[in-house]
Amino acid sequence: MTPAMVVFDITRLLLQSDEGDSTLFFLAMFGGGLYFVYSGFRTWQRMRLIQDTPTEKIRSAAAGRTEVEGAGRPVGTPVGRPFGDGDCLVATYTVERYDSDDDGGDWETIDSGTRYGPIQLDDGTGTLVVEPDDETRFEFDDAHVREIEVGGREQEPPEIADFLRANGDVSVPDRDGVTGFLFSERRRYTERWIPVGQQLYVLGGAQPGEPSETNSSGLVLRRDEASGEFIVSAESEDELVTEAKWKAPVKMAGGLAASVAGLYLLLNGGL
C-alpha cells in the first residue's frame, strides 16, 4: 500500500466513522508513534555526534565544533533557583495541576520555564564563555531535582507562593473558605538546577571573541551551526552516551509498535 493510499483510507475513515473518539485515539497512536521513532533516531544521532567529537582542552581549543569539560561559574549575575534559596547556573521549573477523570486522572502542565545566563567554563588550562540560547539542551543530574506536591486543602510553601506572585503567569490557588474547599486542586512543583561550580560537559560551536579576565581563550561557545546541537550537561559524556544507548532503541521500538497498532486499528475500524 502506497503512502497516498494510506492517507486516503485514514481520511475516509475520519469522515465516515460514527466513533469519532476512537478514531482520533487511533490516529493519535499512529502520529505519536511516528514522533517517538523520530525522537529515538535524533537521540541516536546526538549520541554518535558526542562520541565522534573529541574532547579538547580549553587552552588548545580552536574555532568550530568542539566539546569541553570544566567547572562552571556565572558571568555576571547568577541565576536564582525558582522554588529554593541559592544561586545556580541554569534552572528549570514546572507547575502541574492534577485533573481527575473517569480513568483516575493525570498531571497537566500549566506553566514551565528555564532560567540561564552566560557561563564561564574553567578546565584548569584556560577559560571560555558559554552562551546558552532558548533551544539549548540542558541535562541535569538527579542530585539537583526538587519536587513538591501540595494537596487540595494544603497551602503552598512560602517560597512557592512568592514565586507565583512574582512570576504572574499562574496565580496562587485560593484554598480558604467555601470556594477553596469546593474547588481546591492538587498541584506539583518541580525545579531542576545546575549549581555554581558544577563540573559540566558542553558540546557546541566555538567562535572567536575577545580575551578577557573571564575568558582567557577568547572563545565563545554557542550553538554548532553544522549539526544544530548545543548541549550543556551536568552529566558526564559517558553518562550521556550510556543513557542514549538504551533510550534511542526503546523510543524507536515503542514508537514503531504504537504507530503500527494505530494504523492497523484505523484501517480495520478497531477490534
Q: What is d(CA 153, CA 182) in angstroms, rounded to the nearest whole number?
A: 10
Q: What is d(CA 71, CA 78) in angstroms, rounded to the nearest whole number?
A: 15
Contact 244, 44 (CB under 8 A): yes
Query: Tens digit of pLDDT for each residue in 38-74?
Result: 999 999 999 999 999 999 999 999 999 999 999 999 9
* Residue numbers of the domain that contains 137: 3-267
% of the chain residues with pLDDT over 70: 87
Query: Tens digit of pLDDT for each residue in 144-203?
Result: 999 999 988 888 999 999 999 998 788 888 776 555 555 578 999 999 999 999 999 999
pLDDT at 3: 38
| Summary mean pLDDT of the chain | 87
As to burial, measured by CB atoms within 10 angstroms (0-12 exposed, 13-18 middle, 19+ buried), residue 64 is exposed
The count of structural domains within the chain is 1
Q: Which pTM value belongs to this model?
A: 0.83
Q: Are strands 127-130 and 219-222 parallel, antiparallel or unpaired?
A: parallel
pLDDT at 89: 98
Q: Using the predicted structure, report yes or no on whether residue 142 has a pLDDT greater than 80.
A: yes
Among candidate residues 181, 194, 195, 191, the one with its CA nearest the CA of residue 95: 191
